[in-house]
Structure formats: C-alpha cells, structure tokens
Amino acid sequence: MNTLQIASLLIVFAGAFGAINYLFFRLPSAIGILVVAFLASLAVLALDWFVP
C-alpha cells in the first residue's frame, strides 16, 4: 500500500469513527474516535479468535 492509499484509509476511518461517536456515544471527538477505534480493533481480534 502506498502512502496516499494509507493516508486515505486513515482519513476515511477517522471520519467514520468520528461520526459513529457523535451519533451514538457523544464523547468528546478525539476521545470518541479513540474509543471506537479501540472497540473496533478488539472486535476484529475477537472475531479472529472465534472464527480462525
């Protein structure tokens, strides 16, 4: 993946998680993005554990 693709991916996810936070969690923006990203990551890890 080149730098531009990575940058695009990051920006898209930051925006998406920010929106999710705003609509569902109402935490301050930056903190909210961290929480959603963390939960999403844990979800991926958990999914991988159950469905190898």
Partner 1 sequence: MALEVSRFVAELEFSETLLGWMLGLLLFAGALHVRIEDLRAQAWTIGLMATLGVALSTVVVGVGFSWVTGMPLLVALTFGALISPTDPVAVLGVLKEADLPKTLETKIAGESLFNDGVGYVVFLVLVGIAFPRPDSHAPHDVAGVALFFLQEAGGGALLGGILGWLVFQVMKRIDDYPLEVLLSLGLAFGGYELAIALHVSGPIMAVVAGLFIGDVGMKHGMSVETRKYLDAFWKLVDEILNAVLFLLIGVEVFVVTFSADFLSAGVAAIALALLARFAAVFVPVSLLRLFRSYDKGVVPIMTWGGLKGGISVALALSLPDSEWKPMILTATYTVVLFSIIIQGLTIAPLAKRLGREPEML
Size of the site for partner 1 (CB under 8 A): 28
Minimum distance from residue 47 beta carbon to partner 1 (Å): 7
48 binds partner 1 (CB under 8 A): yes
Please report, as a single letter, which amino acid is at residue 51: V
41 binds partner 1 (CB under 8 A): yes
19 binds partner 1 (CB under 8 A): no
2 binds partner 1 (CB under 8 A): no
Q: What is the 3-state secondary structure (H, E, C) of 1-52?
A: CCHHHHHHHHHHHHHHHHHHHHHHHCCCHHHHHHHHHHHHHHHHHHHHHHCC
